[in-house]
Amino acid sequence: MNTHTKSDGVGSRARGMVLAAGRGLLLAVVSLPLSILGFCLSLVSMALIPIGVGLVTTPYVVRGVRAFADRRRTLSGRWGGVSIPSAYRPAPATANPWTRTFALLRDPATWRDLRWLPVDMTAGFVTALAPAVLVLYPLEGFALPLGLWRTMTGGPYGEYGPYWYGFVPVSDQTTAFGAAALAAVVLVLAHRYAVSAFQAHFRLTKAMLAPSQAELTERVRVLTETRRDAVDTSAAELRRIERDLHDGAQARLVAVGMDLGTVEMLVDKNPEKAKELLAQARRSSAEALSELRDLVRGIHPPVLAERGLGDAVRALALRLPVTTEVGVELAGRAEAPVESAAYFAVSEALTNAVKHSGADRIWVDLRHSDGSLRISVTDNGKGGAATGAGTGLAGLERRLGTFDGVLAVSSPAGGPTMVTMEIPCVLS
C-alpha cells in the first residue's frame, strides 16, 4: 500500500517534470520572438509620436502587447497556478488618436508591460527553458557511453581535445561513464526541480506584471474617499427622509386622528360642524398621501422599480416643462444601486438644464457598451456650466464616484451644454 502510493507519487512527479519541460520549451520558443518584436515595436512607435506617425500606431502596438501579456497571465494561471490580475484602465472610446494614445501612455500598466518585455526575453526565457534543459541534457549524457563519445571525440572533432559534458572531459569509455553518472545526477535534479524552475518563471512574470503596491494604495485611497462620500450622502438622505416624514405625513395623520375624534364628539350635537371637520380630515389624509408619494419618488421612483432605467428616464422627461427626447439602448437592467444612481444623476442633470440653461430642447441618450453605462444629456441652451466646488455638478460627480463613474461636462459659453456620464457596470 505504502510503496504503491510512493511509486504513484514518483510517477506523477515524472509526468509533471516532462510536462513542465515540454511547456517550458514551447513557451520559450514562442514567446522570445514575440517579446522582442513587441518591445521593439513599442519603442519605435513611441519614438515616432513626435512626428505624428506614433499617434496612429501606438494604440495598436500597445493593444497587441496587452493581448500578449494577458495571454501570459492566463497561461500563468493555467500552467503554473499563479494567478496574475490584469489591471488595464478601460481605453476611451474616442476616435481622436491623440486622446487615445495619451490615455494609454498615462496608464501605468502600459509602462509595466514595457518593463516586463526585456525581462521576459532574458530571465523569463532562461527560466522557461530551464526545465527543458534539465530534462533533455541527461539524455545526451546517457548517449555518450553508448558510443556517442566516439563520434564526438573522433574524426574532425579530435583536434579540439576532449568533449566536455558539463565539467566532465569525455575522451574514452571510462570518462563517458563518468558523464553518464553526471547525467543521472542532473536527471535526479530535474526530477526534483524542473517543476519549481518552471514555477519560478511564472513567479517572475507575476512580479513584473502584477499591479504594483503604489497603484493599490492609490486605489484604496480613492475607495476610502468615495465610501466616505457615500456614507455621508446616505446619512444626510436618511435625515431628510426622517424630517419630511416627521413634519409632513406623520403630522397630517395626527391631525386627521384629532379631527375624527372631534367629529365623534360633535356628530350628534353639531352635525354641520362635524361634516366640515370630516371634509378637513379627508383633505389632510389626501395631502399626507401626496406627500408620501413625493417622498417615495425621491427615495426610489416607482417607474424605476417597475420598468428600469430606460422607462424611468422617459417618464421623467414627460414631466419636464422642456421638450425632451430620450434615446435608450439598453439590453437589460443594471444592478439596482447603479440604476438608482444613474437615474438621480440624469434627474439632476435635467433639473440643471431646465433651471439654468434657458434651453428649449433637451436630448438624453442612454446606452451600454464596453462594460459601461454611458449617458449623455445635451441641451441647446446658453452654456457656461462648469464642474467644481459648490455646483450641482460636483454633487453629481460624487454620486457617480461611488460606482467608479465619471462625469464630463462640455459647455462653451453660448452653448450647447453636454453632460456625459459613464458608469462601469454589467447588465442582466
Partner 1 sequence: MRVVLAEDLFLLRDGLVRLLEAYDFEIAAAVETGPELERALAELEPDVAVVDVRLPPTHTDEGLQCALRARRDKPGLPVLVLSQHVEQLYARELLADGSGGVGYLLKDRVFDAEQFVDAVRRVAGGGTAMDPQVIQQLLARRANDGQGPVDRLTPREREVLELMAQGRSNAAIAGKMVVTERAVAKHTANIFVKLGLEVSDDDNRRVLAVLAYLDQGR
Residues 6+ apart with CB under 8 A from 82: 76, 199, 202, 203, 205, 206
Closer residue to partner 1, CB minimum distance, 189 or 322? 322
Q: How far apart are CA 62 and CA 54, in angstroms?
A: 11
Among 319, 355, 390, 413, binds partner 1 (CB under 8 A): 319
Closer residue to partner 1, CB minimum distance, 212 or 323? 323
Closer residue to partner 1, CB minimum distance, 235 or 296? 296
Q: How far is the CB of 253 from partner 1 (least distance, A)?
A: 14
Q: Are 58 and 184 in contact (CB under 8 A)?
A: no
Closer residue to partner 1, CB minimum distance, 329 or 360? 360
Q: How far is the CB of 345 from partner 1 (least distance, A)?
A: 20
Among 47, 184, 260, 286, binds partner 1 (CB under 8 A): 286
* Other CB atoms within 10 A of residue 112 CB: 18
| Phi, psi for residue 391 in degrees, rounded to 5 | -95, 160
Q: How far is the CB of 325 from partner 1 (least distance, A)?
A: 9
Closer residue to partner 1, CB minimum distance, 190 or 313? 313
According to the binding rule CB under 8 A, does residue 303 interact with partner 1? Answer: yes
Q: How far is the CB of 275 from partner 1 (least distance, A)?
A: 15
Closer residue to partner 1, CB minimum distance, 269 or 319? 319
According to the binding rule CB under 8 A, does residue 53 interact with partner 1? Answer: no
Q: How far apart are CA 310 and CA 298, in angstroms?
A: 17
| Phi, psi for residue 311 in degrees, rounded to 5 | -70, -30
Q: How far apart are CA 164 and CA 140, in angstroms?
A: 11
Span near partner 1 by CB under 8 A; candidates 107-115, 159-167, 189-197, 301-309: 301-309
Span near partner 1 by CB under 8 A; candidates 78-86, 192-200, 241-249, 304-312: 304-312
Q: How far apart are CA 351 and CA 395, in angstroms?
A: 13
According to the binding rule CB under 8 A, does residue 285 interact with partner 1? Answer: yes
Among 314, 381, 405, 418, binds partner 1 (CB under 8 A): 314
Provide the β-strand partners of residue 328. Answer: 366
According to the binding rule CB under 8 A, does residue 398 interact with partner 1? Answer: no
Q: How far is the CB of 353 from partner 1 (least distance, A)?
A: 14
The continuous run of DSSP H or E covering 249 comes out as helix 249-269
Q: How far is the CB of 280 from partner 1 (least distance, A)?
A: 13
Secondary structure (DSSP) of 105-165: HH-HHHHHHHHHHHHIIIIIHHHHHHHHHHHHHHHHHHHIIIIIHHHHHSGGGGGG-SEEE
Span near partner 1 by CB under 8 A; candidates 75-83, 227-235, 296-304, 335-343: 296-304
According to the binding rule CB under 8 A, does residue 311 interact with partner 1? Answer: yes
Interhelix angle for 108-119 vs 173-209, to 10°?
170
Q: How far apart are CA 217 and CA 195, in angstroms?
A: 34
Radius of gyration of the chain (CA): 36
Nearest to 140 by CA among 169, 171, 167, 165: 165
Among 10, 146, 254, 296, binds partner 1 (CB under 8 A): 296
Q: How far is the CB of 287 from partner 1 (least distance, A)?
A: 10
Q: How far is the CB of 299 from partner 1 (least distance, A)?
A: 13
- Interacting positions 103-122 with partner 1 (CB under 8 A): none
Q: How far apart are CA 355 and CA 393, in angstroms?
A: 13
According to the binding rule CB under 8 A, does residue 244 interact with partner 1? Answer: no
- What the block records as the C-alpha cell of 370 is 464596453
Q: Are 413 and 403 in contact (CB under 8 A)?
A: no
- Interacting positions 320-379 with partner 1 (CB under 8 A): 320-323, 360
According to the binding rule CB under 8 A, does residue 275 interact with partner 1? Answer: no
Closer residue to partner 1, CB minimum distance, 19 or 354? 354
Nearest to 358 by CA among 283, 313, 415, 279: 415
- Fill in the per-residue mask, 196 to 235: x = in contact with partner 1 (CB under 8 A), - = not in contact: ----------------------------------------
According to the binding rule CB under 8 A, does residue 297 interact with partner 1? Answer: yes
Residues 6+ apart with CB under 8 A from 243: none
According to the binding rule CB under 8 A, does residue 4 interact with partner 1? Answer: no
Closer residue to partner 1, CB minimum distance, 70 or 244? 244
- What the block records as the C-alpha cell of 120 is 521576459
Contacts with partner 1, residue ranges (CB under 8 A): 282, 285-286, 289-290, 293, 296-297, 302-303, 305-307, 311, 314-315, 318-323, 360
